[in-house]
C-alpha cells in the first residue's frame, strides 16, 4: 500500500428497513482505526449525523497521527517528545511541510529562506494604527493575517506549487514579526525589527522585549523553552482551527484568508484560548485551599465552569505534549530562580487532586498542553493576552502544511456538510403564491 492511499480491507453492510442492503467500503490507513467510507451514501438518499465530527474523518492526511487512548502524537511518524528534545522548530516546520527532516544543506537553505522573509511590508504598520491600543492581540492577528493577501498577491496562484511554497515561507517568517508588533502596539512601544542573526525563537523574544534604547540579551534557556512551545503546538491533525483552514481553503480561497479563518477558530476558550483561560483560572483560584471549591464547580452540571487545561476531544490518556511542557516549565522556573511560584503550586495541587477524583478519572480528563504552557509564558514575562497569539504563531506551519496537502490531494472537494432540518415545514406568506 502506498502511504497516501487508504487500503480497502472489507465491506460493511448497512441494513436499513425498507431499503436494499448498502455495501460500504471499510478503509485502513497506515495507522489508526478502520474507517467506513460513506461517500456513496448520499446517492442512496441518506446522510450521516455527527455534530462536532466525533466519528467523522473529513480527509486523509500524511502529516500528523494521534492515538488518543495511548497518548501518542507523531509528526510525519516521529514522536513529539523526540522532536521536542532533539530537533528545533524550523526543522519541525521543514518536516511538517516536506515530509522529512532536513539534512544540513536543506536546513541551511530553509533557514535562510525564512530569515529573509521576516520583514513585513512597511505599509502594514499603518494597519496596526487603525486598531485601538486596548484591542485583544488575537483581534489584530485575525485582521492582519487576512490583510496579508492584499500585500503579497504576487504569489497567490493556489495551483502553482512554487507560489504555495513561497506563501508558506512568508507566513512562517512573518507571523512572529506581526505577533510581536501586536504586543508592542498594545503597550505603546515602537515596533522592533527582526534580527536575522538570531534563531527563530530568539528573534521572536527579541522583537517582543528589546527596545530601541537598550540592548536585549536573549537568554538561551528561555529561547529553547520558547522553541519547544512552538514545536509542541506546531500541528495536531484535524482540530477545529485546522479544519477551519481546510474548509475555507476548499472553496479556493487564498491561503492568507484561510490562515485568518484558522486564527479566528483558535481564539475560542475550548481550543487555543484555553491557555489564556487556564492562567486566568489558576490566578482566580489563587491558593491551594480554594481548589476544592473549583473542582466542585467543574463537576456541577448546572455550572458552565470547566477546568481549563483539562480534557481533550482525542486524548483519553495524559496529553504527551503536557508531559514535555511540565518538564520545560520546571527548567524555566529553575533558570529564572523562581522558587516560590504560587500559580505553579496551585497548578501542581490541582493536577494532583483532579487526577485522583472519580469524576475526572471516569471521564479520562487529564491535563492538556495548555495546562503548563501558561505558567512558562507567564514566567518569561509574556502577557496573558498574548498566549493564544503564540499558539497561533506556532500552529501557522501546521495550518499551511494541511492547506498545501489539501491542494495536492485529488480527493479534495469543496467542504459542504449537510444537516437534519428541524425547522418549519413549507408555509405561505399571506397573499404569496408558491411555485412549490
Residue ranges that bind ligand CMC, judged by CB under 6 A: 236, 239, 270-272, 274, 298, 306-313, 363, 365, 368-370
Between 167 and 265, CB nearer to ligand CMC: 265
Picking from 313, 263, 264, 247, the residue whose alpha carbon sits closest to that of residue 53 is: 313
Between 164 and 271, CB nearer to ligand CMC: 271
Between 224 and 271, CB nearer to ligand CMC: 271
Active site residue 50: no
Q: Which of 136, 206, 312, 402 is catalytic?
A: 312
Q: Which of 233, 236, 370, 402 is catalytic?
A: 370
Min CB(419)–ligand CMC separation in Å: 19
- What's the CA gap between 1 and 28, in Å, rounded? 10
Between 319 and 405, CB nearer to ligand CMC: 319
Between 10 and 290, CB nearer to ligand CMC: 290
Phi, psi (deg, nearest 5) at residue 368: -105, -175
Picking from 189, 93, 137, the residue whose alpha carbon sits closest to that of residue 390 is: 137
- What's the CA gap between 256 and 252, in Å, rounded? 12
Min CB(343)–ligand CMC separation in Å: 16
The stretches of 3-123 forming alpha helices (DSSP H) are 80-86, 89-98, 104-115
- What's the CA gap between 170 and 185, in Å, rounded? 22
Between 117 and 312, CB nearer to ligand CMC: 312
Min CB(359)–ligand CMC separation in Å: 7
Between 239 and 328, CB nearer to ligand CMC: 239
Task: Please give the distance of CA 139 from its chain centroid, rounded to a whole number.
Answer: 16
- What's the CA gap between 116 and 125, in Å, rounded? 19
User: How do strand 72-75 and strand 35-36 relate by DSSP bridges?
Assistant: unpaired
Min CB(24)–ligand CMC separation in Å: 26
Picking from 119, 255, 221, the residue whose alpha carbon sits closest to that of residue 180 is: 119
Beta-carbon contacts of residue 236 (< 8 Å; ≥ 6 apart): 64, 66, 73, 242, 395, 398
Measured at CB, which residue is nearest to ligand CMC?
311
Contact of 382 with 390, CB cutoff 8 Å = yes
Min CB(69)–ligand CMC separation in Å: 14
- What's the CA gap between 388 and 268, in Å, rounded? 9
- What's the CA gap between 389 and 396, in Å, rounded? 10
Contact of 227 with 90, CB cutoff 8 Å = no
Min CB(88)–ligand CMC separation in Å: 22
Active site residue 37: no
Between 136 and 395, CB nearer to ligand CMC: 395
Between 239 and 244, CB nearer to ligand CMC: 239
Torsion of CA 255, 258, 262, 264, to 10 degrees: 130
Picking from 247, 288, 238, the residue whose alpha carbon sits closest to that of residue 395 is: 238
Min CB(90)–ligand CMC separation in Å: 22
Min CB(63)–ligand CMC separation in Å: 15
- What's the CA gap between 1 and 266, in Å, rounded? 35
Helix (H) / strand (E) containing 14 = strand 7-14
Picking from 278, 269, 329, 267, the residue whose alpha carbon sits closest to that of residue 138 is: 267
- What's the CA gap between 16 and 430, in Å, rounded? 40
SS3 content of the chain, % helix, strand, coil (to 5): 55, 5, 40
Picking from 117, 309, 253, 281, the residue whose alpha carbon sits closest to that of residue 194 is: 117
| Residues annotated as part of the active site | 312, 370
Amino acid at each position: 500500500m502506498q502511504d497516501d492511499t487508504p487500503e480497502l480491507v472489507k465491506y460493511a453492510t448497512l441494513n436499513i428497513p425498507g431499503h436494499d442492503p448498502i455495501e460500504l467500503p471499510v478503509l485502513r490507513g497506515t495507522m489508526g482505526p478502520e474507517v467506513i467510507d460513506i461517500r456513496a451514501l448520499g446517492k442512496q438518499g441518506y446522510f450521516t449525523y455527527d455534530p462536532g465530527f466525533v466519528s467523522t474523518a473529513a480527509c486523509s492526511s500524511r502529516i500528523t497521527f494521534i492515538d488518543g487512548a495511548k497518548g501518542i502524537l507523531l509528526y510525519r511518524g516521529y514522536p513529539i517528545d523526540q522532536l521536542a528534545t532533539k530537533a528545533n522548530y524550523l526543522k519541525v516546520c521543514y518536516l511538517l511541510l516536506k515530509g522529512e527532516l532536513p539534512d544540513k544543506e536543506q536546513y541551511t537553505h530553509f533557514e535562510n529562506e525564512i530569515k529573509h522573509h521576516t520583514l513585513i511590508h512597511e505599509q502594514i504598520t499603518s494597519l496596526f494604527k487603525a486598531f485601538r491600543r486596548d484591542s485583544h492581540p488575537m483581534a489584530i492577528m485575525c485582521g492582519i493575517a487576512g490583510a496579508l493577501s492584499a500585500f503579497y498577491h504576487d504569489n497567490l496562484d493556489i495551483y502553482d506549487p512554487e507560489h504555495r511554497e513561497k506563501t508558506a515561507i512568508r507566513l512562517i517568517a512573518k507571523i512572529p514579526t506581526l505577533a510581536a508588533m501586536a504586543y508592542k502596539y498594545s503597550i505603546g512601544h515602537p515596533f522592533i525589527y527582526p534580527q536575522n542573526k538570531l534563531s527563530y525563537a530568539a528573534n521572536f523574544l527579541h522583537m517582543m522585549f528589546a527596545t530601541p534604547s537598550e540592548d536585549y540579551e536573549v537568554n538561551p534557556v528561555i529561547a529553547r523553552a520558547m522553541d519547544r512551545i512552538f514545536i509542541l503546538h506546531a500541528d495536531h491533525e484535524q482540530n477545529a482551527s485546522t479544519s477551519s483552514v481546510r474548509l475555507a481553503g476548499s472553496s479556493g480561497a487564498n491561503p492568507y484568508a484561510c490562515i485568518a479563518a484558522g486564527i479566528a477558530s483558535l481564539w475560542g476558550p475550548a481550543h487555543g484560548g484555553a491557555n489564556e483561560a487556564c492562567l486566568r483560572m489558576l490566578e482566580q483560584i489563587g491558593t491551594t485551599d480554594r481548589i476544592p471549591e473549583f473542582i466542585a464547580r467543574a463537576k456541577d452540571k448546572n455550572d458552565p465552569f470547566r477546568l481549563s487545561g483539562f480534557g481533550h476531544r482525542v486524548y483519553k490518556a495524559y496529553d504527551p505534549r503536557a508531559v514535555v511542557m511540565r518538564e520545560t516549565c520546571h527548567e524555566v522556573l529553575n533558570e529564572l530562580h523562581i522558587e516560590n511560584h504560587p500559580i505553579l503550586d496551585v497548578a501542581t495541587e490541582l493536577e494532583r487532586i483532579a487526577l485522583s477524583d472519580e469524576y475526572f478519572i471516569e471521564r479520562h480528563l487529564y491535563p492538556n498542553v495548555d495546562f503548563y504552557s501558561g505558567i512558562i509564558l507567564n514566567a518569561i514575562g509574556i502577557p496573558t493576552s498574548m498566549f493564544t497569539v503564540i499558539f497561533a504563531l506556532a500552529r501557522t506551519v501546521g495550518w499551511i502544511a494541511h492547506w498545501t496537502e489539501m491542494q495536492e490531494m485529488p480527493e479534495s472537494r469543496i467542504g459542504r456538510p449537510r444537516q437534519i432540518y428541524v425547522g418549519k415545514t413549507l408555509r405561505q406568506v399571506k397573499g404569496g403564491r408558491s411555485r412549490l
